[in-house]
Homo-oligomer: A and B are copies of this chain.
Amino acid sequence: MVNARSAVPTDPGADDAASRRPTMSQVAALAGVSVQTVSNVLNTPGIVRPETAAKVRDVIRELDYRPNHAARQLRTKRSGLIGVRVESGSTDGVFDRFLHALTACAADRDYRVLLYTARDDDQELASYDDLMQRWDLDGFVLSHTHEGDRRAAHLMERGIPCVSFGRDWDGAGTHPWVDVDGAQGTRKATGHLLAQGHRRIAFLGWPTDSRVGNDRLAGYRAAMQAAGLPDLPVGHCRNAVDDARLAAHDLLRRTDATALVCVSDLVALGALAAVQLRQATPGAPAVEVVGFDDTALAEGAGISSVAQPLTAAAEQSLRLLMDRIDRPTTVDPPTRLLLAPDLVVRTRRTPPS
């Protein structure tokens, strides 16, 4: 069971509800824009200024405005479905937050998300025909992109609109994508530690075959270089608490670092355990730890963490996908967006020594 909502709803008469449905004119009036602008926000959002679009969407949500589905669907011949793969057997808090935001953004545009699963990329590639034949999806939002990823090219070749949340690591693709600038995140994290007076700052990352991990490492190195400081030896570990604890223990011993920039919150949690052990030694310096992804783990441990702008990532992914759906034969170069993450600063409750 999941946590129960306490609110007890009241029953709206279905007919009354229909007659009380807000109109596009009401949305326009309340948002202080023209009806055409509201229509643009819904159908061709790329031509609307972001601030205006945000204002209109706020009003749409507030009034629970929904366009006339039947008329719209007849006109556009769309299924109103977007395919998203969930990894079977595993969950990823960041992906789940993106998925929730994507579902909400899609609903604003009168689309729904269809979930499918696949054991691996090959199985995913093999499933596209089936998904298209049975449900006539209007497009796909891919995620978990990686080197040698053939999914976007496969869809593009078949004229199926797609966007990926996650960059095109090979750089050869022609599809639009949205990603978060991980290097900028670790630059901010490292900059925060530098501003606090730390000079011996080390990085605890994932194995070197992780492109996402290497991107985050690069941001740390850039910040150290910009400050005229040497970067310290790098620690590597799998994304697991115990592995991170051992790696952090070793890294602290080797580097005498006073601060650790960690590639993820889970790794930061392991680092924190190593730090607490170390601080038991009389005279050992306090060690600051910064995480990445601003999950409940970071909140729980009271550590600063880099937050990915997942709602913006979902909105932009949808916008780019809709643009492809609206203009299937476009020859414009694909849009690529690197969004800026923010550092959420927390003051850790250090256990009293």
* Chain A positions near chain B (C-beta within 8 angstroms): 1-12, 14, 17, 61, 64, 66, 69-70, 73-74, 77-81, 86-100, 103-104, 107, 112-117, 119-123, 125-126, 129-136, 143-148, 150, 158, 165-167, 169, 179-180, 182, 209-212, 239, 241, 266, 269-270, 273, 276-277, 280, 295-297, 299-302, 308, 349, 351-353
Contacts and interface: CB of A to CB of B under 8 A. Distances in A.
A91 B88 contact: no
By DSSP majority rule, is chain A's interface helix, strand, loop, or mixed? mixed
A129 B10 contact: yes
Given A3-B144, A115-B113, A96 B103 contact: no
12 contacts: A4-B73, A5-B135, A5-B146, A6-B77, A6-B136, A11-B122, A12-B125, A64-B126, A89-B100, A112-B116, A269-B300, A280-B352
A346 to B, nearest CB: 11
A322 to B, nearest CB: 17
Given A93-B93, A134-B69, A273-B349, A79 B4 contact: yes
Given A2-B143, A167-B1, A122 B79 contact: no
Contacts of A349: 273, 277
Contacts of A167: 1
Given A9-B121, A112-B135, A123-B64, A4 B297 contact: no
B86 A126 contact: no
Interface pairs A-B: 3 shortest CB-CB? A9-B121, A8-B148, A280-B352
Nearest to A244: B300
A282 to B, nearest CB: 11
B17 A126 contact: yes
Contact of A125 (B6, B11, B98, B133): B11
